[in-house]
Amino acid sequence: MATTQVAQPMTSEQLDQLCINTIRTLSIDAVQAANSGHPGTPMALAPLVYTIWNRVMRFDPQDPIWPNRDRFVLSNGHASMLLWSVLHLTKTQAVNPEYEILGQPSVTLDDIRRFRQLDSKAPGHPEYHWTSGVEATTGPLGQGVATSVGMAIAQKWLAARYNRPGFAIFDYNMYAVCGDGCMMEGVSSEAASLAGHLGLDNLCWIYDNNHITIEGNTNITFTEDIAARFLGYGWNVLRVGDANDIDRIQNALEVFQKTKGRPTFIILDSHIGYGSPHKHDTAEAHGEPLGEEEVRLTKRSYGWPENAKFLVPDGVYDRFAAGCGARGAEARQEWTKLFGAYRTAYPELATEIDQMQRRELPPGWDRNLPTFPADSKGMAGRDASGKVLNVLAQNVPWFLGGSGDLGPSNRTLLTYEGAENLEAETPGGKILHFGIREHSMGAIVNGLSLSKLRAFGATFFIFSDYARPAIRLSAIMELPTVFVFTHDAMGDGEDGPTHQPVEQLASLRAIPGLVVLRPADANEVVEAYRYIMQLRHEPALLALSRQSLPTLDRSKYAPASGVARGAYVLADAPGGAPEIIFIASGSEVSLAVNAHETLLGEGIRSRVVSMPSWDIFEHQTQEYRDSVLPPGVKPRVAIEQASTFGWAQYVGDSGRVIGMKTFGASAPLKELQRKFGFEPERVVAVAKELLGRP
Active site residues: 438
* Rounded CA separation 323/51 (Å): 10
Alpha-carbon separation of residue 311 from 36, 70, 314, 536, 676 (angstroms): 20, 29, 9, 40, 67
Half-sphere exposure of 418 (CA within 13 A, CB side): 6
Per-residue HEC secondary structure of 83-95 comes to HHHHHHHCCCEEE
Task: Please answer whether residues 160 and 427 qualify as being in contact, where contact means their C-beta atoms are separated by less than 8 angstroms.
Answer: yes
Q: Which residues are bridge partners to 485 per DSSP?
A: 459, 543
- Could you give the CA distance from residue 591 to residue 360 in angstroms, rounded to a whole number? 38
* b/e code 429-462 from CB counts within 10 Å (16+ = b): bbbbbbbebbbbbbbbbbbbbbbbbbbbbbbbbb
Amino acid letter, 688: K
Q: b/e for 268-281, b at 16 or more Cβ within 10 A?
A: bebbbbbbbeebbb
- The answer to whether 188 and 178 have CB atoms below 8 angstroms apart is yes
Please give the single-letter amino acid code of residue 588: E
Specify the DSSP class assigned to residue 153.
Answer: H
- CA distances to 409, 503, 541, 663, 687 from 499, in Å: 14, 12, 18, 10, 31
Please check whether residue 203 is in contact with residue 195, taking contact to mean a CB–CB distance below 8 angstroms: yes
What is the distance of C-alpha 343 from the center of its chain? 31
Please say whether the beta carbons of 81 and 89 come within 8 A.
Answer: no
- CA–CA separation, 638 and 657 (whole Å): 5
Helices (H), 421-565: 438-450, 464-477, 504-509, 522-533
Neighbours of 283 (CB within 10 A): 16
Euclidean distance between CA atoms 588 and 678, whole angstroms: 8
Single-letter amino acid code for the residue at 570: L
Closest residue by Cα to residue 299 from 84, 51, 32, 15: 32
Q: Please state, as a whole number, how many other Cβ atoms lie within 10 Å of the Cβ of residue 484.
A: 28
Name the percent of the chain in helix, strand, coil, to the closest 5.
45, 15, 40
Name the DSSP letter for residue 211.
Answer: -
Q: Where are the alpha helices (DSSP H) in 358-431?
A: 381-395, 407-410
User: Residue 562 gets which letter from DSSP?
Assistant: G
